[in-house]
Chains A and B, each alone.
Chain A
């Protein structure tokens, strides 16, 4: 396989968009194309990640529409739908196209417009990824799966609501430094947990998880330009290589897992990605995790190998995962505060890490970052993609 480089990254601000689905994707794509400064080098492949377009935006064949809007025809184009892991899946498809030699330059765009429907419909749309016969019919939604998971994990490992709140406070704090984040709202332990007003500010969503344990519903798009070494050598700017990608699946119904608190697919995907990258968790300088719920940041950080099982919450207490800490997690604000336009998230994680490795994450830059890791968590852990990026000196 040929080495594959990220030569451009861009995104829209996450939040609420007035654009159409295709224009939103096109806006991120143009930002990434400008960042790459390809000049006359043609884009020969386009991969679009999107989960809900056909249901909530009533648009299909999104990649064909985007190629037209950007006048990139006759580039090859396809859309990838892989639930909340659609973004990293699309990056993987783009990687394979360049690595195999079938393409030299691939534009990968993740996009989602979720705020066109009301909360019930939006929650139901995401809930439709659960098992239709053994979960969905009972009223299972993603927050409920996270609540079931959190109660069991917290009872086993002594994790308290204050630890979940620490994750939320950290990620809101990081997002204050990210102009692309959906949420720019500093929060405090008093405001969301310890004061008498906290129960009003931070109501239950899926006991023991509260409002500030859950990501917002966002519109947004993020894009990457992937290129072969020949092309990357011709471009200026720091060089970021996709060093490893690992993917693993698990049972559809969460109750079937031998230990439902073990995020096995995160563990296996991460092991594969690290093996491919010839790296280990201790080599990583900056991390983006899929904190759709605060509990997931804690447990993913253990399953990925950064902390021993049951110990991540102690590292959080010590501030190790803060921007200034030993291992900054979610400098972007994560899904919690950057927002979670589902199909865009996996791409946005890698946009942030590309900026971090290039030294372009103004205001939230992790100094001397050379190796970066992202976890894009699909379903409730039944389809996970881990990616390792590495900065290469020229």
Chain B
């Protein structure tokens, strides 16, 4: 369970919120089912960030916003040596941070 990423699918209107909410922004419904987030999509934008937060022992992180097929967008780590706007990628789940020795799983993008 902890090694997948979930959004919230509104049981009333079917809209998927990622990140999850307590209220559906489309229909204001309050009942949801977990919806696993992932698949293929296009790189909307990316950056190599050198101004890092705590927990990272690397020189920089490559982050991206990806628009998944179907329109849902996600933020995650881009594992691609040749990043390009509009490039097709697919998601995988990996360790994106380690806080106090504990791994945190999240979305990573690799070339499709």
Give the nearest-CB partner of A207 in chain B: B48
Interface residues of B in 55-83 (CB under 8 A from A): 55-56, 61, 63-65, 73-77
Interface residues on B, range: 20 to 34
Residue B19 is within 8 A (CB to CB) of chain A in the complex: yes
Q: Are A134 and B75 in contact (CB under 8 A)?
A: yes
Q: Which residue of B lies closest to A127 (CB)?
A: B53
Pick the residue among A123, A206, A209, A252 that contacts B53 (CB under 8 A).
Answer: A123
CB distance from B8 to the nearest CB of A (A): 11
- B12 within 8 A of partner (CB): no
The yes or no answer to B87 lying at the interface (CB within 8 A) is: no
Cβ A147 vs Cβ B74 within 8 A = no
The stretch of A17-25, A46-54, A137-145, A313-321 in contact with B is A137-145
Residues in chain A near residue B53, CB distance under 8 A: 120, 123-124, 127, 136, 139-141
Contact with B along A240-271 (1 / 0, CB 8 A): 00000000000011111000100000000000
Instruction: Count CB-based A-B contacts (< 8 Å).
Output: 116
Closest to B56 in A: A139
- How far, in whole Å, are A120 and B52 apart by their CA atoms in the complex? 6
- B97–A138 touching, CB < 8 Å: yes
- Interface residue B27 (Cβ < 8 Å from any Cβ of A): no
Q: Which residues of A contact B76 (CB under 8 A)?
A: 138
Q: How far is the CA of A127 from the CA of B97 in the complex (A)?
A: 14
- Is A144 touching B85 in the complex (CB atoms < 8 A)? no
Structural contact, B75 and A139, CB atoms closer than 8 A? no
Q: B85 and A139: CB pair below 8 A?
A: no
Contact B48 A204 (CB under 8 A): yes
5 contacts between A and B (CB under 8 A): A135-B75, A139-B56, A139-B61, A139-B77, A147-B47
For the complex of A and B, 6 pairs with smallest distance between CB atoms: A147-B47, A144-B49, A134-B19, A152-B45, A124-B53, A143-B51
